Amino acid sequence: MAINKNSNLYIIIYTIVMVVIVGALLAFLATSLKPQQEANVLNEQKVSIMKAFGEAELNFDDVVTMGRITDGQFVAVEEGDVAAIFALLGNRKALAEAENELPIFQLDKDGVTKYVLPIVGKGLWGDIWGYVALQQVEGNIVITGIVMDHAGETPGLGAEIATEGVQKLFEGKKLYDAEGQFAVRMQKGGAQNEYQVDAITGGTKTSDGVNAMLATSIGKYESFLRGAEAEVEADTECCGECCAEEANVELNNEEE
């Protein structure tokens, strides 16, 4: 008896067998390639952070101290907790909602301490995210580097935030103005002062998104950043005292 290939039973069995085979094949493939794919994502996060530091040639694992900002204090992360930090970086929604225990990366090089914070926000069409590197300079906080990426901003307009040309504009911009207000922003019509960056022509909504992203994401670290600022001032005072003491010692020596 020849099988009727157009009978319903044949078609149903055919479909079931096909789906089971294909499903098993794809499940096997996805599971076996997953570790490699996750390693790629992790590596990309590390490379982006090093790019924000402006030290792309250094190896993340060798030089960067990972930490969390808990109640305004830097707490170094323990070995077993590293994966949790990167998982949080990979989960933009959770990162945007995090209020405490915020991930932060510290790099000490040539006597200068820089911090990198993750930033997340919304552009015109979808998520925008990145990393910003900060450093204390003369009682203010200065952006030393930024990397940004986007899910679906308009190519040639908003998508320009992912280009080096735009990201370079942020370097050296101060976070806080003379009144201590958060002032760094992309300014439509061109940068007027040391807090402003040229906005993207035709990408106003994305530029606004970047402003909101910087304000909220960096704002969460404010207590820590302000603390760091104060610390520097305290350091200088201490140094002043040291100098005075030294001067006294010298005077004493002369007297002798």
Site for other proteins in 4-33 (CB under 8 A): 5-6, 10-11, 14-15, 18-19, 22, 25-26, 29-30, 33
HSE-up of residue 140 (Cα within 13 Å, Cβ side): 18
Q: Which stretch binds other proteins (CB under 8 A): 2-10, 63-71, 186-194, 202-210?
A: 2-10
**What gap in Å lies between CA 93 and CA 74, rounded to an integer?**
23
Angle between helices 8-53 and 82-90 (to 10 degrees): 110
Write the interaction track for other proteins spanning residues 53-72; mark x where CB under 8 A is met and - where it is not.
--------------------
Q: Where are the beta strands (DSSP E) in the chain?
A: 64-70, 73-76, 102-109, 112-122, 127-137, 140-150, 185-187, 196-198
By beta-carbon proximity to other proteins, the closer residue of 141 and 148 is 148
By CB under 8 A, is residue 201 in contact with other proteins? no
Quote the CA–CA distance of 67 and 88 in Å, as a whole number.
Answer: 13
* Distance of alpha carbon 166 from alpha carbon 136, whole angstroms: 22
Q: Single out the residue of 16, 24, 44, 76 in contact with other proteins (rule: CB under 8 A).
A: 44
* Smaller CB separation from other proteins, 33 or 239: 33
By beta-carbon proximity to other proteins, the closer residue of 21 and 247 is 21
Residues that bind other proteins (CB under 8 A): 5-6, 10-11, 14-15, 18-19, 22, 25-26, 29-30, 33, 36-37, 40-41, 43-44
